[in-house]
Structure 1
Amino acid sequence: MIPVTILIVDDRPENLFAMQQLLEDDPNRTLLLAHSGQEALGLLLSHEVALVLLDVQMPEMDGFETATLMRRNRRTRNIPIIFVTANHTERTHIFQGYAAGAVDYLPKPVDPVVLQSKVRIFEDLYRQRKQLEDVNARLDAKVAELERLRFELEEKNRILHTLSLLDGLTGIPNRRHFDDTLRSEWQRMLREGSPLGLIMIDVDHFKRFNDHYGHLHGDRCLKRVAGCLSAVLKRPSDFVARYGGEEFAAILPATDHAGTCHVAEALRQAVEHLAIDHAASPTTDHVTISLGAASVIPAPGCHPSDLVCAADQALYAAKQSGRNRWCYQGCQPDSCIHPLT
């Protein structure tokens, strides 16, 4: 059972002793005794008290003044006060007590049965309040724990979502992220009436590289190429992804024919400057890339796949022309030449 503390305040020692004798039989009850209002206020600041039995007639600071001061202090303002007084029949006296903050009156001489009954009522109320506070504290802790778990789950979901958009080997965006970005940038350029550039990139003779050096070195090569391509693209909106296998793709928003070709050459030179040995290459003795460039101003009726198809055709032409180079292919299917109205 929750223990309770009761403060008894009376300037007469014999009254304190009598009240103490009536209430000290409960092992879950602690009694504090104060001989004055000043002493009572001091005890209230250092103890948690469930009930105050307060004598009204006291010298220097009477019960009304003590109660009034209790109600002005945030720590003690809600502690129940039962006034103990011999002058309990005068209405003015009673109203003054209630105005000071009393919740009940006990007449002197105190009836033991009435005293025990009233004290138990306020003890029960105190215990119920403490139990409610404990339940609320546990609920608050549960809510805080659930909030922490929710935050952790959201963070894990965010990380998982990020990981689902990245290529596991190279760490750059994957094919899924490429497809989503191409669609969104296509729509954005359509709204703005701006050109969209696309470059398809293939590592030359990569199968021969793997066969000659092994797949572990092949993976390292792809990582270095991916990092190199990413480093070349400076604008925040530029985007490079691993398209699949040894193939990469770069999306260049607001980039026309000339700009797309310029970026393609910059990418080609950057990879060549890596100087990764490729003894099995019939093109040169180091790793190179072939690139297919295309650009278009999106129009109603056109589709992003039209641009991918044009860049793929340009990549095929670059390979057929000897590799380690780029070719440009205009994106002009019938749907773009004669857009829907």
Structure 2
Amino acid sequence: MQKTPILLIDDQKENVLTLESLLANPDLHIVRAESGDEALSRILEYPFALILIDVQMPGMEKYEIAEQLRSRSQSSSVPLLFITAARLDREHMFKGYELGVVDYIFKPLEPQILTRKVTLFLELHRQRQQLSEKTRELDAKILELEVLYKEFEERNAELERLSSLDGLTGLFNRRYFDDNLVKEWKQAVRNNTELSLLIVDIDYFKNYNDYYGHLAGDDCLRKVAQSLYEALMRPSDIIARYGGEEFTAILPNTGSGGAARVARRMMESVAQLAIEHQASPVADTVTVSIGAASSFSDGKLSATSLLGRADKALYEAKKNGRNCFRMTAAKA
């Protein structure tokens, strides 16, 4: 166990020896200083629990010693005890208290009074140390909790992100699309702006699966999904897998003209993949049909109505031979 250091500031060796004998304790490490200057150097060497000062010392006046010790960061919070041979008047005692002296011990020394007072301040020192250690432990725990909370938030955000993605294609899933269609619709109503929606269907995909197998079908879905994503024109555009071989795209601040351009880009992008489709009646490569709807709403329509119009347009595209797109425009 580490000994607790205390500082005795006295220029009379016999006084120091007397104090050392009275304070003899295997748990204490008593350090001597014969002058104020020496005391100021000692505080740089030890984390003292208590400082006892003989006020009759020459050289540096007793109050100046206390003031100097209080001004140093190493000893600013260390209790100071004055040892004096005479009873001080109230003025001098209060001056000492103002400078940080916590108590006075009068000569001739009463061993019990001395040891009881010193023991009291040493116990306070131990309690401060324990409190400081507990505070450090608490700070470490708080820091650990902050790190864990940050990791939790990051993992939660990642789980949230993964929960919004389609596992096969990596696009957003149906739930994400449904939530964001409502959000974008409300935003369009608030800002009085246009909103367009595309529904994309891979032509005769069931035939493709039957002819090439489901593994090839999954690979086809991934490639088409990527090409549709790359055909989008702005970061704010959203594309999702709606289900099976259908995909949907939300185009904020986009009218019918912009929606038509995106639809053409999608068809061209899929065509450039040149995925063989011998089971398709419309082409020897994979193609898509697209239904598009655009709405400039004042709040009288709904997101559901826009989706219904896009679905109706897709039906018209399929009815007209597939491998094409059809547009319906709605105005409130």
Please report the TM-score for the alignment, with normalisation by the length of structure 2.
0.92
CA distance in 1, matches of 2:13, 2:2: 29
Dislocated runs of 4+, deviation >6 Å: none
1:75/1:331 CA distance change after superposition, 3 Å: same
Residues 1:14 and 2:14 are matched in the alignment: yes
Corresponding letter in the other structure for 2:194:
P
1:261-340 to structure 2, matched below 5 A, reads 261-331=260-330
Q: Say if 2:233 and 2:262, in contact at 8 Å, map to a contact too.
A: no
Matched residues in 1 for 2:121 and 2:173: separation? 69
Conserved 8 A contact 1:204-1:324: yes
**1:4 maps to amino acid:** T
CA distance in 2, matches of 1:190, 1:118: 78
Instruction: Give distance in 1, aligned partners of 2:239 and 2:98.
Output: 78
Match status 1:105 vs 2:104: yes
User: Could you say if the C-alpha distance between residues 96 and 201 of structure 1 is closer, same or farther in structure 2, counting changes exceeding 3 Å?
Assistant: closer
Instruction: Note closer, same or farther for the CA distance 1:100–1:294 as it changes in structure 2 (3 Å cut).
Output: closer
Task: For residues 90-129 of structure 1, give each alpha carbon's deviation from its aligned partner in whole angstroms, at most 9, with x where no partner exists.
Answer: 4454344334332111222322211111101101111111
CA distance in 2, matches of 1:253, 1:160: 26
Checking the alignment, whether the CA contact within 8 Å between 2:47 and 2:74 is kept in structure 1 is no
SS at match of 2:200: strand
- Aligned residue number for residue 181 of structure 2: 182
- Pair 1:211–1:98, CA change in 2 (3 A): same
The residue that corresponds to 1:80 in the other structure is 79
Q: How do residues 59-208 of structure 1 correspond to structure 2 at under 5 angstroms?
A: 59-208=58-207
Q: What is the DSSP-based 3-state SS (H/G/I as helix, E as strand, rest coil) of the residue aligned with 2:101?
A: coil
Q: Counterparts of 1:91 and 1:239 in 2: how far apart (Å)?
A: 82
Structure 1 distance, partners of 2:281, 2:188, is 40
Q: Is the 1:294–1:310 contact (alpha carbons within 8 Å) kept by the matching residues of 2? A: yes
What is the CA RMSD across the aligned residues, in angstroms?
2.0
* Counterpart secondary structure, 1:293: strand
Shift of 1:209: 2.2
Q: Residue 182 of structure 2 aligns to a residue in which SS?
A: helix
Which 5+ residue runs of structure 1 have no aligned equivalent?
Answer: 337-341
* Mean CA deviation greater in 1-10 or 39-48: 1-10
- Measure the CA separation in 1 of the matches of 2:264 and 2:73: 76
| 2:112 aligned counterpart, secondary structure | helix
Corresponding residue for residue 49 of structure 1: 48
Task: Give, in angstroms, the shift of residue 210 of structure 1.
Answer: 2.3
Distance of 1:187 and 1:98 partners within structure 2:
70
TM superposition shift of 1:71: 1.1
Counterpart residue number, 1:240 = 239
Q: How does 1:194-233 map to 2 (within 5 A)?
A: 194-233=193-232
Closer, same or farther: CA 35–324 of 1 in aligned 2, 3 Å: same
Contact map agreement 1:87 1:93 (CA 8 A) in 2: no
> How many pairs are equivalent?
332
For residues 313 and 293 of structure 1, what CA distance do their matches in structure 2 show? 9
Q: Residue by residue, what CA displacement relative to the aligned partner does 1:142-200 show, whole Å, maximum 9, x if unpaired?
A: 22222222222222222222222221211111111111121122222223333322111
Instruction: Give the Å deviation of 1:61.
Output: 1.8
Question: Which AA in structure 1 matches 2:266?
Answer: L
The 3 A distance-change label for structure 1 pair 5 and 282 is: same
Amino acid at match of 1:133: S
SS in 2 for 1:296: strand
Cα deviation, 1:200-250, whole Å, max 9, x if unaligned, reads: 101112222223333232222212211211111122322211111110011
Q: How far 1:60 sits from its partner (Å)? A: 1.9
TM-score by length of 1: 0.90
Instruction: Return 5+ residue gaps in structure 2 as ranges.
Output: none
Q: 1:49 to 1:310 in 2, by over 3 A?
A: same
Percent of matched pairs sharing the same residue: 46
Kept in 2: contact 1:6–1:32 (CA 8 A): yes
**CA distance 1:98–1:296, shift in 2 (3 Å):** closer
Q: Which residue of 1 aligns with 2:4?
A: 4
**2:29 aligned counterpart, secondary structure:** strand
Distance 1:192 1:108 in 2: 87
Instruction: Give the Cα separation in 1 of the matches to 2:43 and 2:21.
Output: 22
